[in-house]
Amino acid sequence: MRRKVIAGNWKMNKLPNEAIEFIDSLAKLVKDTKNEVIICAPYTDLFYVLLQAQGTNIKVGAQNMHFEDSGAYTGEVSGEMLKAIGVEYVIIGHSERRQYFNETDETVNKKIKAAFKHGLKPIVCVGETLEQREQGLANDIIRTQTKLALDGLSKDEVKNTIIAYEPIWAIGTGKTATSEDANNSIKEIRNEIEKNYGKDVAAEVIIQYGGSVKSKNAKELFETSDIDGGLVGGASLDPEEFSKIVNYDK
Ligand code: PEP
């Protein structure tokens, strides 16, 4: 049975003092869950979050990384740097990075490979725009993004990749895909993985749903056959609300 993984993506929010307070509150609220809890914080909060999360069941992720290890890339942070401070996860290819920072399927693939090289676990985002969905292209888009993102990885690496299916029209908009639609899209992604890496890999890989997940809709989404938890943006900023999503099964 696959585990449920609930990851918060704070995006460009929270100063260090707010981050410390958040982890302190959340730790108490989620200490009894058997679900995996991850907080993906801005770079400037990571060290504080890591310290505060010590001895709790909260794991820590970054929101992006560069694919090179070091060099003349002003403003960038490498996987090696994240690993050195104790970060475990890294979001790669979030739609906001694809949209505003020229992230492509090629850079996503390079970053995933660099993440594994440094012992980080990638959370890879795929998802279609509203226009693509209305044109009936959603399944093609998510299958292609999945294929290109994972290209050249070993079976073991694919098993250790978390995929987040995030329809772009549902991110930060308050619109959620129905649990049935989200589950069907995630089955498409799983089928694509099965086609390229076999049934056993596809059966193991964690695939989350992301897009306006809240405490009100988490249970319905996460209890479907193929949705293995969520990547949560807005609702991850409040410890009470986020803890209710983590504890959806209580
Ligand atoms: C996200 O940023 O990955 C996300 C899903 O955001 P929200 O939950 O706010 O829609």
In angstroms, the Cα distances linking 243 to 24, 34, 182, 250 are: 12, 13, 22, 11
Confidence at 1, pLDDT banded by 50, 70, 90:
confident
Instruction: Supply the residue whose CA is at minimum distance from atom 1 of ligand 1.
Output: 233
Question: In whole angstroms, what is the distance from residue 180 CA to residue 78 CA?
Answer: 38
User: Phi and psi at residue 232, in whole multiples of 5°?
Assistant: -120, 125
Lowest mean per-residue pLDDT among 10-24, 51-65, 83-97, 167-181: 167-181
Instruction: Supply the residue whose CA is at minimum distance from atom 2 of ligand 1.
Output: 233
Number of residues that this document lists for the chain: 250
Question: In whole angstroms, what is the distance from residue 22 CA to residue 52 CA?
Answer: 9
- CB of 9 closer than 6 angstroms to any ligand 1 atom: yes
pLDDT digits (tens, 9 = 90+) for 161-206: 999 999 999 998 988 889 999 999 999 999 999 999 999 999 999 9
Catalytic residues, by residue number, are 94, 166
Overall average pLDDT of the 18-27 stretch: 98
Sequence-distant (6+) residues with CB within 8 A of 228 are 2, 3, 4, 5, 206, 207, 208, 222
Pick the CATH number of 5-246 from 3.40.190.10, 3.20.20.70, 1.10.10.10, 3.40.50.1000: 3.20.20.70
In the predicted structure, residue 227 carries a pLDDT above the cut 90: yes
pLDDT at residue number 175: 86
Q: What mean pLDDT, rounded, does the chain reach?
A: 97
Overall average pLDDT of the 74-91 stretch: 98
In the predicted structure, residue 53 carries a pLDDT above the cut 90: yes
